[in-house]
């Protein structure tokens, strides 16, 4: 199961037209993944965008970013919303099954995450293992 933070194409909008996150959802679902996703403003438009793409199962949407991570094997950050920049690593660790974070926007601080036992990978960055 994959947790996905950010569905809009950029922060401070609910616009999901041409949002990379929806392409990612399609690709992950095609590979058999289950997805738990959230976005501070784009849940309704994302739901419409998913329906437009004929995606009606395999993804659950949540209003709370930590609820979206419950039971997840990995977390993907797809939109650089401010609230996603400094998550509570202990709260993530309590809810997630896995310990992998992929920061698709390079907006997080890897040190606090790796200190809490997560492996962190940002775009164009090497994998950083827990300390």
Is 128 inside a domain boundary? no
Is 40 inside a domain boundary? yes
pLDDT, average across residues 105-128: 96
pLDDT at 131: 76
pLDDT over 80 at 93, yes or no:
yes
Is 130 inside a domain boundary? no
- The H or E element that residue 91 is part of is helix 89-95
Reported confidence tier of residue 51, pLDDT bands at 50, 70, 90: very high
pLDDT, average across residues 96-108: 97
pLDDT, average across residues 48-76: 97
Looking at the structure of the chain, the number of domains it has is 1
Is 64 inside a domain boundary? yes
pLDDT, average across residues 45-65: 96
Q: Residue 112 belongs to what domain range?
A: 2-122
Is 117 inside a domain boundary? yes
pTM score of the predicted model: 0.96
Name the 3-class secondary structure at 30.
helix
Is 108 inside a domain boundary? yes
Reported confidence tier of residue 74, pLDDT bands at 50, 70, 90: very high
Contacts of residue 6, Cβ cutoff 8 Å, sequence gap at least 6: 21, 38, 39, 77, 78, 79, 80, 81, 84, 105
Share of the chain above pLDDT 90, in %: 98
Tokens read off for 24: 């990612």
Identify the CA nearest to 5 among candidates 65, 82, 56, 91.
Answer: 65
Specify whether the CB–CB gap between 118 and 100 falls below 8 A: yes
Given the DSSP bridges, would you call strands 74-77 and 2-5 parallel, antiparallel or unpaired?
parallel
For residue 23, what is the domain's CATH number?
A: 3.40.50.720
């Amino acid at each position: 199961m994959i947790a996905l933070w950010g569905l809009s194409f950029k922060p401070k909008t609910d616009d999901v037209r041409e949002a990379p996150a929806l392409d990612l959802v399609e690709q992950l679902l095609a590979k058999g993944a289950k997805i738990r996703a959230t976005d501070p403003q784009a849940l309704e438009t994302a739901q419409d965008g998913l329906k437009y793409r004929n995606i009606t199962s395999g993804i659950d949407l949540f209003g709370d970013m930590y609820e979206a991570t419950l039971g997840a094997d990995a977390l993907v950050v797809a939109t650089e919303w401010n609230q996603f920049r400094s998550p509570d690593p202990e709260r993530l660790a309590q809810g997630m099954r896995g310990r992998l974070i992929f920061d698709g926007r390079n907006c997080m601080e890897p040190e606090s995450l790796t200190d809490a036992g997560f492996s962190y990978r940002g775009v164009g960055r090497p994998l950083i293992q827990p300390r």
